[in-house]
Each structure stands twice: as C-alpha cells, then as structure tokens.
Amino acid sequence: MSHQVDRVLDEVDTALRQLRRSMRGIPVRREGLKAMHDKMAKSMGSLTVALDDARSTIKN
C-alpha cells in the first residue's frame, strides 16, 4: 500500500505543476480565480503532508 501512496503523491505533484504552468497568461484576478487557486493549493499541500506522514502507519 505504501507504493500506492508514493504513486498518488507523485501524481498530485505532477498535476499541481501542470496547473501552475497552465495558470500562466490567464488573468488570475478574474472572477476570484486566484483566491480559489490559492485555497486549493493550500488544501492540497495539507493533504500531501498528511499522506506523507501517514505512510509509516499504512500497512503493505
């Protein structure tokens, strides 16, 4: 199961990097997009840290 956590964390990292690249050139202040993006990024950061910390308790 630990390898699944590693894979999920890698996929989340890849998705967030892709989102950051796609945000370039978009008027981020439009309709609260920047605020929604920042809130989502903070939430995903908290989730990835929690998953990484829980890795040792997850059994194979």
Q: What is the DSSP letter of 25?
A: T
Per-residue pLDDT, 43: 92
Crossing angle of helices 2-23 and 33-54, rounded to 10°: 160
Alpha-carbon separation of residue 50 from 23, 27, 33, 54 (angstroms): 26, 32, 26, 6
5-58 pLDDT, tens digit per residue, is 888 888 988 988 888 888 777 776 667 777 888 898 899 989 888 888 887 787
Structure tokens at 5: 């956590």
